[in-house]
Amino acid sequence: MTDPPLMILGLGNIGIWEYVLIGAVIMLLFGARRIPEVARSLGRGIVEFKRGLKGEDEPGKLPPPTPGGPGPSPPPSP
């Protein structure tokens, strides 16, 4: 039988007061003004990481067409 991931880490019995304590420590370390900034930069980092895994260099940029590859089809001949 496999253990749930939180039980393996020893975090299975965290209650509400432990979460409050963790939040208070984070507030003391970063301050209330900096927490949104830290969360925003963490989110951007995750997006960049996922984009790197997909192989996209720039958002919204299409890869260059390959010679002889699929392109616009010629108009039908009459």
For residue 53, CA distances in Å to 6, 24, 44, 48 come to: 27, 35, 14, 9
Q: Are 19 and 11 in contact (CB under 8 A)?
A: no
Q: Is residue 37 part of a domain?
A: yes
Q: Are 25 and 31 in contact (CB under 8 A)?
A: no
**pLDDT tens for residues 21-75?**
998 998 888 888 888 888 899 999 999 999 888 876 555 565 565 565 555 666 7
Q: Is residue 59 part of a domain?
A: no
Q: Is residue 10 part of a domain?
A: yes
Q: Is residue 46 part of a domain?
A: yes
Q: Are 40 and 48 in contact (CB under 8 A)?
A: no
The reported pTM is 0.42
Q: Is residue 78 part of a domain?
A: no
Biggest distance spanned by C-alpha atoms of the chain: 78
Q: Is residue 49 part of a domain?
A: yes
Q: Which residues form the domain of 48?
A: 5-54
- The total of structural domains in the chain comes to 1
Angle at CA 39, nearest 5°, toward 34 and 40? 100
Q: Is residue 63 part of a domain?
A: no
